[in-house]
Amino acid sequence: MSDANAPWLVVGLGNPGPEYAANRHNVGFMVADLLAERIGGKFKRAQKAQAQLVEGRIGAPGPSGRRVVLAKPMSYMNLSGGPVMSLRDFYKVPTANIVAIHDELDIDYGALRLKLGGGDNGHNGLKSMTKSMGADYHRVRFGIGRPPGRMQVADFVLKDFSSTERKELAYLVDRTADAVECLVTEGLERAQSTYNS
């Protein structure tokens, strides 16, 4: 069980730079941006780690809200573990209070799955985080589906969402942000029963 007063570290995984901004691999950044907007913050470069940060509270207004640090590592996806570990240590966040928001190939587009721990399923951001601090953190997995035909996975994840996918993307990012808030304020079981699809 996590310490009720410990902050949460919510990490959107993605790649920095405008050329990656709308890629499937950057859906974690998209959700983090929306969460930052909801808590009334703007991402700023952190001195303490290679990341952009927003600090605030999620949940009920005032002191009953949960303290949260939103982060977007600026290290490129496959090196995400270093910045996340620096932030974990600086803010004294228990590993069980870390949430990684990321794209997931083995789930249909738009489906959502939340879990604690597990493997990385070939995802370089998760691989780097697990190598840095073990696997016992939460994952909010945003389904992007498998690449069509013979397209390579690397090409698929670094392409923008299709025009058909974009019709639903804002709604799905919004729902994912809701799921993260539910996880932080009400716990994994409630979040899974409400949002897993």
User: Is this prediction's pTM over 0.85?
Assistant: yes
Please report the pLDDT score of residue 197 as a whole number.
Answer: 84
SS3 136: coil
Per-residue pLDDT, 1: 43
- The total of other beta-carbon atoms located within 10 Å of residue 86's CB is 18
Asked whether the predicted pLDDT for residue 47 surpasses 90, the reply is: no
- Of 62-71, 94-103, 132-141, 169-178, the range with the lowest mean pLDDT is 62-71
Residue listed under structure tokens 């789930």 = 107
pLDDT at 83 (0 to 100)? 96
Taking the C-alpha atoms of residue 71 and residue 161, their distance in angstroms, rounded to an integer, is 23
CA distance 130 to 78: 11
Q: What pLDDT digit, counting tens, does each position of 78-121 carry?
A: 999 999 999 999 999 999 999 999 999 999 999 999 999 999 99
Q: Residue 123 to residues 79, 100, 103: CA-CA distances in angstroms?
A: 12, 12, 8
What is the β-pairing status of strands 138-143 and 112-116?
A: antiparallel
The C-alpha atoms of residue 155 and residue 46 are separated, in whole angstroms, by: 30
What pLDDT was estimated at residue 3? Answer: 61
Query: Does residue 25 carry a catalytic annotation?
Result: yes
Which of 25, 102, 123, 138 is catalytic? The answer is: 25
Q: What number is the average pLDDT over the span 49-78?
A: 89
Q: How confident is the model at residue 41, as a pLDDT?
A: 92
Residue 72 — pLDDT band, cuts 50, 70, 90?
very high
Average pLDDT over residues 157-174: 97
pLDDT band at 61 (very low <50, low <70, confident <90, very high): confident
Cβ atoms of 74 and 50 closer than 8 Å? yes
Q: What is the mean pLDDT of residues 27-40?
A: 97
- The pair phi, psi for residue 159, each rounded to 5°, is -100, 155
pLDDT for 129: 97
pLDDT at 64 over 80: no
Q: Give the pLDDT score at 35.
A: 97
What is the average pLDDT across 6-10?
95
For residues 63 and 67, give the distance between their C-alpha atoms in angstroms, rounded to a whole number: 9
Write phi, then psi, for 42 (nearest 5 degrees). -125, 135
